[in-house]
């Protein structure tokens, strides 16, 4: 696939996902909300938390490894 078509397709998908998440705040069907922005924000915060925890564990393991030498 052409690199410019891949780039354009990726940008279209990214913008589409952002627009769906932004406008889905008030979507409802049979009193069931289709809000995609809140779950995405929760997943992002969880991923950020685990990233910080793993970086902390990495530094602890590197420190312990340096203590052995």
**Residue range of the domain that includes 28:** 1-35
Q: What is the DSSP letter of 29?
A: E
What is the pLDDT at residue 4?
A: 82
Across 32-51, average pLDDT: 85
Give the pLDDT of residue 23: 80
- Please indicate, yes or no, whether residues 8 and 20 belong to a single structural domain of this protein: yes
Q: Which residues of 6-33 are buried (b: 16+ CB within 10 A; e: fewer)?
A: eeeeeeeeeeeeeeebeebeeeeeeeee
Asked if the model's pLDDT at residue 68 lies above 80, the reply is no
For the chain, the average pLDDT equals 84
Q: Read off the pLDDT of each residue in 45-58 and give the average, rounded to a whole number.
A: 93
Q: Say which residue, 10 or 36, is predicted with more confidence.
A: 10
Block residue for tokens 């203590």? 67
For tokens 């793993």, what's the residue?
A: 54
Same domain, yes or no: 15 and 27 = yes
Identify whether residues 41 and 31 lie together within a single domain. Answer: no
The verdict on 16 and 31 lying in the same domain is: yes
């Amino acid at each position: 696939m052409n690199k410019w078509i891949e780039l354009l397709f990726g940008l279209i998908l990214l913008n589409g996902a952002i627009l769906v998440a932004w406008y889905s705040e008030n979507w409802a069907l049979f009193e069931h909300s289709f809000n995609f922005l809140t779950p995405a924000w929760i997943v992002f915060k969880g991923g950020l938390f685990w990233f910080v925890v793993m970086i902390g564990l990495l530094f602890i393991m590197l420190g312990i490894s340096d203590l052995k030498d």
